[in-house]
């Protein structure tokens, strides 16, 4: 069995978890390309009719981005606990090194804000060495996108309320 490497990132926010969850998880396919066009050209649901377990999203990254596309299948979704688990099943970011990548996102309330915990499970192909620096860069890019959404929600308190 190929090895699995797990990385966790925790991000604090002054925004309530339900607003972040709605913006990033439930409506990210609409919001992210508008807020961050330099990273996301488009995000479309290619299987299923909405964001639900079993649906598949195709992310087309902006021209000049390191990667071209990714397909994500939603494996678990709990709107009451602000949790989403999805698998990257197809992408040039798998780069012949990974069988697939499973990401878990969980938002928890802390005071009037929240904590976002992102856990990535990298299912490596047999014999592949992991470049941990590259993983850190990927998590830093995700954190930067998170902060852009957070800034938008702070500036627009009615959005996703």
Segments of the chain with pLDDT less than 50: none
The pLDDT of residue 1 is 64
Q: Where are the beta strands (DSSP E) in 48-82?
A: 56-61, 69-78
Q: How many angstroms separate the Cα of 51 from the Cα of each of 82, 121, 132?
A: 13, 21, 31
Pairing relationship of beta strands 83-91 and 98-110 according to DSSP bridges: antiparallel
Q: What is the pTM of this model?
A: 0.92
- What 8-state DSSP symbol labels residue 66? S
The pLDDT of residue 14 is 96
The pLDDT of residue 134 is 76
Q: Exposure of 54 by Cβ count < 10 A (0-12 exposed, 13-18 middle, 19+ buried)? A: exposed
């Amino acid at each position: 069995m190929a090895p699995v490497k797990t990385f966790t990132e925790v991000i604090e926010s002054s925004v309530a978890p339900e607003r972040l969850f709605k913006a990033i998880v439930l409506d990210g396919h609409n919001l992210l390309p508008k807020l961050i066009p330099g990273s996301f050209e488009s995000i479309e649901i290619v299987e299923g009719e909405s964001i639900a377990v079993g649906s598949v999203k195709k992310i087309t990254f902006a021209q000049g981005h390191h990667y071209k596309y990714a397909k994500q299948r939603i494996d678990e979704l709990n709107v009451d606990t602000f949790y989403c688990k999805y698998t990257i099943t197809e992408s040039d970011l798998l780069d012949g090194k990974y069988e697939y990548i499973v990401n878990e996102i969980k938002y928890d309330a802390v005071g009037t804000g929240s904590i976002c915990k992102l856990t990535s499970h990298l299912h490596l192909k047999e014999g592949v060495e992991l470049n941990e620096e590259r993983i850190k860069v990927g998590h830093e890019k995700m954190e930067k996108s998170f902060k852009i959404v957070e800034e938008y929600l702070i500036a627009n308190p009615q959005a996703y309320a």
